[in-house]
Structure 1
Amino acid sequence: MGFDWKEMFTVTMVLFAVIDIVGSIPIIVGLRNRLGHIQSEKASIVAMVIMIAFLFVGEEILKLIGIDANSFAVAGSFVLFFLALEMILGIHLYKDDNPSTASIVPIAFPLIAGAGTMTTILSLRSAYDKINIILAIVINIALVYVVLKSSAKIEKILGNNGLGVIRKVFGVILLAIAVKLFASNVKGLFA
């Protein structure tokens, strides 16, 4: 299939919603205030390497443990569903708000390249071309870098209410994506 603008845009939006870097600004600001400087470049590069590596070896790891892509995609749809609920309802199921160090842990992993992102990447791999996923990862990492560098300014501009609205909108989008992913892969479980 190859490069496709529409696919790349869709995958970019899915990853943007899952990574939820805008919704993570309060966590990032808290870390920066408590621990000092966060190495934005290092965190961004490490997260990108983790995501691209998982795109290529994730399926082999699944085969090694005997799980097919449809099963993983359905499981991924549940993870996305709960991440979306987390964003919409304002509850915390996956993220550690009190880490002891910053930069690679917890910024690169698990905040940016966490379980939800990994599940999403493998789930997207079953529906989209790899080049579009790689480009979407690079675009998202560029956005992550910008947000990490300017998180204090963004927080001042949007305020807590603005951040809350953005988080809820992306939560609804992610919820719809989770339902679509489930519907398109659940049939393969019974074939």
Structure 2
Amino acid sequence: MFGFDIKEIATVSMVLFAVIDIVGTIPIIVDLRQKYGHIDAEKASIAAGVIMIVFLFLGEEFLALIGIDVHSFAVAGSFVLFFLALEMILGIQIYKQEEASSASIVPLAFPLIAGAGTMTTLLSLRSQYQTINIVTAIILNIVLVYLVLRLSSKIETLLGKNGLGVIRKTFGLVLLAIAVKLFAANVKGLFQ
């Protein structure tokens, strides 16, 4: 019905969940809340969702406009995902964030939730899955992002520092596997 496929939605949802890594960013969310006060969960969630859906539909055309093919973008994105995964697994910081005056949109909605890794993943998913299933997975993930943002302090208390570390490293490994798969699937397209 309308191209809905529960298996595709589940797969895309899990991939986006690993890339967005909202649970792994709880320590960053806590730091932002301490630095800027209240974080508007609704505003951040809606902004991230709009960014992802717009990029899903217009990202490929934008790349064509500036002369970049999807394979090149996907291979470049696989490197971004690779380094994000290394950050998560090894506990190092490669990407340095600039100082922001407001935390709800920048840096929370973009680039933490809807960042380069998410954009690259969306374009690569678009070539493999039905668009309606990807949009459904985005909406499911945005609902989850909203819930995590609203409950971040309770989740932090519940999981503790060690629990958050285990979750971050586990999803880092999943993200590393996604980066390798993305690279392998698109690197051949560069030479055709």
Q: Do they fold alike, i.e. is TM over 0.5?
A: yes
Residue 86 (structure 1) shift: 1.1
Matched, 1:27 2:35: no
Partner of 1:147: 148
TM value normalised by structure 1: 0.94
User: How well do the aligned residues superpose, as a CA RMSD in angstroms?
Assistant: 1.6
Q: 1:95: how far off?
A: 5.5
CA deviation after TM superposition for structure 1 residue 91, in Å:
1.5
Letter in 1 for 2:62: I
Q: What is aligned with 1:94?
A: 95
Rounded Cα–Cα distance in structure 2 between residues aligned with 1:43 and 1:190: 39
* Residues 119-147 of structure 1: per-residue CA shift (max 9 Å, x gap): 21112212222111111110110010000
Question: Runs of 4+ in structure 1 displaced over 6 angstroms?
Answer: none
| Residue identity in the other structure for 1:156 | T
**How many Å separate the matches in 2 of 1:23 and 1:99?**
21
Q: Is the 8 A contact 1:88 1:168 kept in 2?
A: yes
Residues 107/95 of structure 1: CA separation in 2 closer, same or farther (3 Å cut): farther
Displacement of 1:99 after TM fit?
3.4
Tell me how far apart the structure 2 counterparts of residues 101 and 174 of structure 1 sit (CA, whole Å): 28
1: CA distance, partners of 2:170 / 2:100: 27
Task: Using the TM superposition, give the Cα deviation of residue 162 of structure 1 relative to its aligned residue in structure 2, in angstroms.
Answer: 0.4
Measured against aligned partners, the alpha-carbon deviations of 1:142-184 in whole angstroms (never above 9, x if no partner) come to 0100000000000000011100100000011111111111111
Contact 1:95 1:111 in 2 (8 A): no
CA distance in 1, matches of 2:92, 2:119: 21
The one-character-per-residue Cα deviations of 1:83-119 (angstroms, maximum 9, x if unpaired) are 1111111112235285332111111111111121112
Equivalenced residue count is: 191
Q: Contact 2:56–2:126 at 8 Å: present in 1 too?
A: yes
Q: 1:161 maps to which residue?
A: 162
Consecutive unaligned residues of structure 1, counting only runs of 5 or more, are none
Tell me the SS of whatever aligns to 2:162.
helix
